[in-house]
A and B are shown apart, each in its own frame.
Chain A
Amino acid sequence: MDMIKVKIDGIEVEVPAGTTALEAARKANIDIPTLCYLKDINEIGACRMCLVEVEGARNLQASCVFPVADGMSIKTNTPKVRAARKLSLELILSNHDRKCLTCVRSQDCELQDLSKRLGVDDIRFDGERHDKPVDSFSPSIVRDPNKCILCRRCVSVCRNVQGIGVIGATERGFATMVEPVFNMSINDVPCINCGQCIIACPVGALREKDDIEKVWDALNNSNLHVVVQTAPAVRVALGEEFGMEMGTRVTGKMAAALRRLGFDRVFDTDFAADLTIMEEGHELLGRLQGGGKLPMITSCSPGWIKYCEHYYPEFLDNLSTCKSPHEMMGAIIKSYYAEKNGWDPANVFVVSIMPCTAKKFEAQRPELSAVGHPDVDVVLTTRELARMIKEAGMDLATLPDEEFDPALGDSTGAGVIFGATGGVMEAALRTVHEIVTGEPMENLEVHAVRGIEGVKEAEIQLGDLTLRAAIAHGTANAKALLEQVKSGEKEYHFIEIMGCPGGCVTGGGQPIVKAKTYMEMDPKVVRAKAIYDEDRDLPIRKSHENPSVIKLYDEYLGEPNSEKAHDLLHTHYTRRSVY
């Protein structure tokens, strides 16, 4: 690649041709402020926060979209630049709903950061405000139009990364809004609740539906047995909410925090992930041997499931009938575990801590109530759990490492890797290979299915059969893959699809990563590494060797895919329209 030399504030740096002034400045250790910019996702130069002076150019340039040229000299900190940036910011603030005290994003807000950084000490302009109603009809996503700064980061991620586009800019001038069409609620459009818009939002205009109070109430109710479970991806991200480095594993501290919050049992969704592998692995074998519908597609990701229901209903029969792991866990807690402990399932309250906003919608599906009560009562995101821990006055970093509770807290490395794209596939292969061939895989780590490439393919020898597998993450990638399957261009036996890019580690319920951090690291990679490290450190790494899973089948379910297993652990899907 051609390298060129540019001067940023007098500091000479060498960068590849085509580099933007914003990126070149970072090479010179200069952090130009940004607001609408989100690396690779939203690069539109709209907010004018990143203006710089280019020697010889008449006007200030938006550095996020301005490619540097050889010999160019750029100044990022002149009176003209500072005045222009501040004026733009003041105009954005002029009609912003400035209720920072009560905003969920207070102290985690890029607009607030900028106001402080650019020295805004007074509201000079008080613009006309719309005072639009907050849209809180969705069980997953809340949209507050009064906080929206029209940066379009959510629009880009929904339209381009996820290939959906249920929100967009409407009207013009002062009337401009980012919203669904025809004044509809986000709940009434074909939104999959993935929450990628939330983690793209620099302010508090998009957030998860907060269900913390329901959990406090349950914990305060002495008639209830309140049981909590945590998804694999939560343990590699929760620490970020407490100032720890991205990729820090806090499994033991999280278990301690949950116990101290007052949960009666602290279980691990990884156990249910192992259970999912038993059910899904046998379902796959059944379809392969019995001429069932292929390719079979995984069903763990509720964002993907809703996407399939809206946009690819012709693939509903391809979906595994397995419930997602936390729903399986809920069903097992309210049946097997409740029976064992002499609990009335009506008095059992299951809370799932998930990296996911789509699971909030999923938990409300009427079909997911195996014993006459919802399998899962409340889903909290990683962010909500962090807020509860903070409210309770705990600092995660100083807590001791504790274990999950026995039985449904036991898990394997196969369960953990569900949190990264390719993980369900890899976990399934570890088990299916052994069932088919009677031999363990030579290398348990299937590197072909790991990594963040949008669509991955692998061929695995299972005795006489060469299993053709594919993995997609993010629904735009899923769309591309499904189109190839539909046209007959590609044929597979088994497909893993996760609704969010990167899988659950970068789900819509995970800690919000600032735009600036994305320029330095990719959370998809850093958090996934922590997941794979966790797998490597566990003594058992195959689902079918989980002693508590074996015991559950012995004592209660019988065989995988038995009638009882079907009643409790499997589900069906609903054809949904697009608008």
Chain B
Amino acid sequence: MSAIDLENQEKFQQLQKVIDEWKDKEGPLMPVLHSAQEIFGCLSLDVQKYISKELDIPVSDIYGVATFYSQFTLKPKGKYRIGVCMGTACYVKGAQAILDELKKVLDLEVGETSDDGLFTLDATRCLGACGLAPIMMINDDVYGRLKPEDVKGIIDKYRDK
């Protein structure tokens, strides 16, 4: 077995553990999907098929949930996931200009991942830190009261990490 297959097998074993834990509880799909995304980085068809079989939920239901919530992704995301809040407060405080600046600096459209696999750019719904508007998150780091001219410096920090 190749190294990739082996790694994949280990991931499915991990997923099986999560499924076993949730299988007989009510509403197992969301927690299983969360874990699956953590384990695999995204919810591919193979992953959804596996969950479908184990939980006896049609793939179409799982896909429906996976595409409904923006925190789930069907394709692998970059190492750094940038989420620009487009909630009402941030929007009013100029989130669009932040997003436009990010697009320019990263040369990416919303939803795309950079070729080097470092950055994924997303526009998100309200992140719940309206007092700091406009904000963006890079993985778990929050950047508030942003101005477009802050963007490049922040991105460079991650590039050099």
Interface residues of A (CB under 8 A from B): 155, 159, 164-172, 180-182, 578-579
Chain B contact residues: helix, strand, loop or mixed:
helix
A155 to B60, CA, bound (A): 9
CB within 8 A of A170: which of B48, B49, B58, B67?
A: B67
A165 to B48, CA, bound (A): 14
Within 32-79 of B, Cβ neighbours of A (below 8 Å) are at 45, 48-49, 58-61, 63-64, 67-68, 74
Kindly provide the distance from the CB of B25 to the nearest chain A CB, expressed in whole angstroms.
Answer: 22
Please name the residue on chain A nearest to B58 by beta carbon. A165
30 A-B pairs (CB sep. < 8 Å): A155-B60, A159-B58, A159-B60, A159-B61, A164-B58, A165-B60, A165-B61, A166-B60, A167-B60, A168-B58, A168-B61, A168-B64, A169-B64, A169-B68, A170-B64, A170-B67, A170-B68, A171-B68, A172-B67, A172-B68, A180-B60, A181-B45, A181-B59, A181-B60, A181-B63, A182-B45, A182-B74, A578-B49, A579-B45, A579-B49
Kindly provide the distance from the CB of A407 to the nearest chain B CB, expressed in whole angstroms.
Answer: 47
Kindly provide the distance from the CB of A187 to the nearest chain B CB, expressed in whole angstroms.
Answer: 15
Neighbouring B residues of A168 by C-beta, 8 Å = 58, 60-61, 63-64
Neighbouring A residues of B45 by C-beta, 8 Å = 181-182, 579
Instruction: Say whether A579 contacts B58, CB under 8 Å.
Output: no
Chain A contact residues: helix, strand, loop or mixed:
loop
Neighbouring B residues of A170 by C-beta, 8 Å = 63-64, 67-68
Neighbouring B residues of A155 by C-beta, 8 Å = 60
Interface residues of B (CB under 8 A from A): 45, 48-49, 58-61, 63-64, 67-68, 74
Neighbouring B residues of A171 by C-beta, 8 Å = 67-68
Neighbouring B residues of A182 by C-beta, 8 Å = 45, 63, 74
Neighbouring B residues of A578 by C-beta, 8 Å = 49
Please name the residue on chain A nearest to B62 by beta carbon. A181
Neighbouring B residues of A181 by C-beta, 8 Å = 45, 48, 59-60, 63
Neighbouring A residues of B48 by C-beta, 8 Å = 181
A159 to B58, CA, bound (A): 8
Neighbouring B residues of A172 by C-beta, 8 Å = 67-68
Instruction: Say whether A165 contacts B59, CB under 8 Å.
Output: yes
Please name the residue on chain A nearest to B59 by beta carbon. A181
A172 to B64, CA, bound (A): 9
Most buried by B among A159, A180, A181, A578: A181
A164 to B61, CA, bound (A): 11
A165 to B61, CA, bound (A): 8
Most buried by B among A155, A159, A164, A165: A165
A159 to B61, CA, bound (A): 9
A579 to B44, CA, bound (A): 12
A171 to B74, CA, bound (A): 12
A182 to B58, CA, bound (A): 14
Neighbouring A residues of B60 by C-beta, 8 Å = 155, 159, 165-168, 180-181
| Leading 6 A-B pairs by shortest Cβ distance | A165-B58, A168-B60, A181-B63, A168-B64, A170-B67, A172-B68
Instruction: Say whether A579 contacts B63, CB under 8 Å.
Output: no
Please name the residue on chain B nearest to A190 by beta carbon. B59
Please name the residue on chain A nearest to B44 by beta carbon. A182
Kindly provide the distance from the CB of B51 to the nearest chain A CB, expressed in whole angstroms.
Answer: 12
A181 to B65, CA, bound (A): 11
A164 to B45, CA, bound (A): 17
A467 to B48, CA, bound (A): 42
Neighbouring B residues of A159 by C-beta, 8 Å = 58, 60-61
A142 to B59, CA, bound (A): 21
Neighbouring A residues of B64 by C-beta, 8 Å = 168-170
Most buried by A among B49, B59, B64, B68: B64
Neighbouring B residues of A579 by C-beta, 8 Å = 45, 49, 59
A527 to B109, CA, bound (A): 57
Please name the residue on chain B nearest to A578 by beta carbon. B49
A165 to B58, CA, bound (A): 6
A182 to B43, CA, bound (A): 11
Please name the residue on chain A nearest to B64 by beta carbon. A168
A181 to B47, CA, bound (A): 13
A579 to B67, CA, bound (A): 18
- Other than A167-B60, A171-B67, give 17 A-B pairs with Cβ distance below 8 A: A155-B60, A159-B58, A165-B61, A166-B58, A168-B58, A168-B61, A168-B63, A168-B64, A169-B64, A170-B63, A170-B67, A170-B68, A172-B67, A180-B60, A181-B48, A182-B45, A579-B49
A416 to B137, CA, bound (A): 68
Please name the residue on chain B nearest to A155 by beta carbon. B60
A159 to B60, CA, bound (A): 9
